[in-house]
Amino acid sequence: MVTVIGITGGIGAGKSSASAILGELGAEVIDADKAAHQVYLPDTPAWREIVEAFGEEVLAADRTIDRRKLGPRVFADPAALQTLNHVMHGKIFAYIQGQIACIRRTKSARVVAVEAAVLLEAGWQALVDQLWVVVAPVEVAIARLRDDRGVPEDQARVRIAAQMSNDERIAHADTVIHNAADLDALRAVITATWQRLGA
């Protein structure tokens, strides 16, 4: 039997670190962000819809979608974000669903971790058996975005404000992973939770 864990949380909470640790412990990790890259490769239906909605100025020189150009537009404009989500969410869901089905068929892993920032917002709960929510205080998340990714503080605050709050996510969680400290502390929490899973 394959258990599918959804990993979600706000920007800067540490979802990717949590997923990477689960991968080290033996889970097969599916990253919704990477799935999105596959879904909107040049000349795919999603790519064409994004270019139609936002114009060719969101393209990089190689004709791929340039997230550094698209991101500030959608995070600053709720209507633009809604348009992008309408294009992408169903297609990413189907892509991930196909990956999970393949793992179930081949039995290549006993646990699948689906890392998705918008798992709740997109209504993807049907993909997973358990939902783990990674949370960090807002100021900690802002510091991570500034120090690790070079995101200016004002942009970090806009992005966090545009997302679902920690409290809203926690209301849906089977497990809450608090990640206010360093990577070693997170690894200890994830490992203990993994062991309780009996994987």
The pLDDT tens digits for 79-106 are: 999 999 999 999 999 999 999 999 999 9
pLDDT exceeds 90 at position 124: yes
Task: Tell me the pTM.
Answer: 0.89
For residue 34, which of 148, 112, 142, 114 has the smallest C-alpha distance?
Answer: 114
Q: What is the set of domains in the chain, with CATH numbers?
A: 3-197 (3.40.50.300)
φ, ψ at 16 (rounded to 5°): -65, -40
For residue 164, which of 21, 13, 31, 39 has the smallest C-alpha distance?
Answer: 13
The pLDDT score that the predictor gives to residue 108 is 84
- pLDDT tens for 17-61 read 999 999 999 999 999 999 999 999 999 999 999 999 999 999 999
Q: What is the dihedral of CA 113, 40, 84, 142, to 10 degrees?
A: 50
**Whether the Cβ atoms of residue 169 and residue 16 lie closer than 8 Å to each other:** no
The tokens describing 174, both together, are 């089977």
- pLDDT tens for 176-191 read 999 999 999 999 999 9
φ, ψ at 198 (rounded to 5°): 75, 25
Which is it for strands 28-31 and 111-115: parallel, antiparallel or unpaired?
parallel
Q: How far is CA 57 from the centre of its chain?
A: 25
- Distance from C-alpha of 180 to C-alpha of 12, rounded to nearest angstrom: 10
The tokens describing 58, both together, are 């969101």
The tokens describing 66, both together, are 């340039």
